[in-house]
Amino acid sequence: MTVTDQLSSRKAAAVARGVATRGIYAVRAENAELWDAEGRRYIDFAAGIAVNNTGHRHPRVMASVASQAEAFTHTCFHVAPYESYVALAERLNALTPGDFPKKTMLVTTGAEAVENAIKMARAFTGRSGVVSFSGAFHGRTLLGMALTGKVAPYKKGFGAMPPEIAHAPFPNDFHGVSEAAALEHLERLFASSVDPERVAAIIIEPVQGEGGFVIAPAGFLRALRDICDRYGIVLIADEVQAGMARTGRMFGFDHSGVVPDLVTMAKGLAGGFPLSAVTGRAEIVDAPDPGGVGGTYAGNPLAVAAAHAVLDVIADERLCDRAVEIGETIRARLNHIADQQGMECVGDVRGLGAMNAFELVTDRSGNAPDAPLTSAIVAEAERRGLILLSCGTRYNVIRLLPPLTIPMDQLAEALDILEASIEAALMARAA
């Protein structure tokens, strides 16, 4: 029995069944590479699900955390606050879109950031309704999964969802939902089912993560801004996956020129350490009473130190520019693959910066999803040493999330593996 087999057996006996895992047990990682318990090397196109934008164990991140650990690891900001939290809030206030007074609160996970943003919007407006979108992912907590626009596996079996949450269609031309149709449906929702004057917030990802890396059109985001202004609704940008240089800008909303009222961020913010934030208009962030937001581990000093280093690395190593370069390389290769004879399974290639994906279909003309082929490609790539993730409401999208620090020769190697994996999966199906 291999070490991996032993660990898998122990995991099955000791870990909750609902915690989904893969068969790769990590023992070491460096930048864009990861080694498992058998000593096998992988190129990591998951990056901890867009967490390690600065790569695994970036030296400046590790040095910053080590320095902080020499001072203190935890005091609880509510009990004995510290300057590094304040300084990070100042930096995030300056980095997020909008020329107005801002404030920030730090928490631990993306779901926490989302829930606190909703609390702020409700406290500020005195309203309780929230509008989210089909295909959205906003977390696995009770409110987070209610906001999420995908039933399985996130809502299935968990009973009634919190009330006054409505979902509107997210524009997706490949699935036949135009920007105009999505806006028309939202207006119908307000006319028939949800009083807009009871809506506290509209929350949206600039690029949907679990939804399949679908990019929100700039015109759609501008229209949402107008709707929010018309009805006094708080516009929340969920930048948990799209933020921190992943799309070629610091935040996904930066591509549209639209300024949200609140921004939630996590994942890439602290380079592998658990940290999230809500940043936005000072009057909205300040709406809850003292003690109404926060948490014991919120803004942990080690994670804050990591975040400061991450922001330095993004600026000094020009990772926004690197994201653009990486994305252009990936999409060029994916489009080349899609154009080849026999590759009609690649129905759509899309992406923004280094946040890219391709959707697999059985029939391009009808866009029928091919979830089995998607799973087969992910498994084949893993056998060949490339870690991939699937996503999409129809389970037929493969997303590519390399660290923004990946060497270009490793990027080329990974894309060779990807193409070979697609070919092998198709050949296995035909056999």
Of all residues in the chain, the percent with pLDDT exceeding 70 is: 100
Residue 320 pLDDT level (bands cut at 50, 70, 90): very high
pLDDT at 248: 98
Give the residue from 259, 302, 310, 263 showing the smallest Cα distance to 113. 263
Alpha-carbon distance 138 to 147, whole Å? 6
Residue 102 has pLDDT above 90, yes or no: yes
Alpha-carbon distance 61 to 155, whole Å? 36
pLDDT at 90: 98
DSSP readout, 200-249? EEEEE-SB-TTTTSPBPPHHHHHHHHHHHHHHTPEEEEE-TTTTTTTTSS
Residue 47 pLDDT level (bands cut at 50, 70, 90): very high
Alpha-carbon distance 188 to 166, whole Å? 12
What does DSSP say about strands 234-238 and 346-352: parallel, antiparallel, or unpaired? Answer: unpaired
Residue 431 pLDDT level (bands cut at 50, 70, 90): confident
CB 168 within 8 A of CB 133: yes
Q: Is the pTM of this model over 0.95?
A: yes
Q: Which domains does the chain have, with CATH numbers?
A: 3-57+318-430 (3.90.1150.10), 72-316 (3.40.640.10)
User: Which residues, 6 or more positions from 37, have their beta carbon under 8 angstroms from its beta carbon?
Assistant: 2, 3, 4, 7, 25, 26, 27
For residues 38-56, give the mean pLDDT: 98
Alpha-carbon distance 190 to 170, whole Å? 16
Residue 350 has pLDDT above 90, yes or no: yes
Give the dihedral sign, CA 356/263/61/382. Answer: negative
DSSP readout, 328-352? HHHHHHHHHHHHSTT-TTEEEEEEE
For residues 290-315, give the mean pLDDT: 97
pLDDT at 160: 87
CB 335 within 8 A of CB 347: no
Give per-residue pLDDT as tens, 184-209. 999 999 999 999 999 999 999 999 99
> For the chain, what percentages of helix, strand and coil (3-state, to nearest 5) are there?
40, 20, 40
pLDDT at 363: 87
pLDDT at 365: 84
Residue 239 pLDDT level (bands cut at 50, 70, 90): very high
pLDDT at 216: 98
pLDDT at 104: 98
Phi-psi category of 291—alpha, beta or left, where left has phi over 0 and alpha has psi -120 to 50? left
For residues 256-263, give the mean pLDDT: 98
Residue 366 pLDDT level (bands cut at 50, 70, 90): confident
Residue 423 has pLDDT above 90, yes or no: yes
For residues 309-320, give the mean pLDDT: 98
What residue spans of 277-318 are helical by DSSP H? 282-285, 301-316
Classify residue 230 by burial, with Cβ atoms within 10 Å: 0-12, 13-18, 19+: exposed
For residues 209-224, give the mean pLDDT: 97
Give per-residue pLDDT as tens, 65-87. 999 999 999 999 999 999 999 99
Give per-residue pLDDT as tens, 388-417. 999 999 999 999 999 999 999 999 999 999
Average pLDDT, the chain: 97
Residue 310 has pLDDT above 90, yes or no: yes
Place of tokens 């549209």: 256
Alpha-carbon distance 428 to 431, whole Å? 5
Give per-residue pLDDT as tens, 111-129. 999 999 999 999 999 999 9
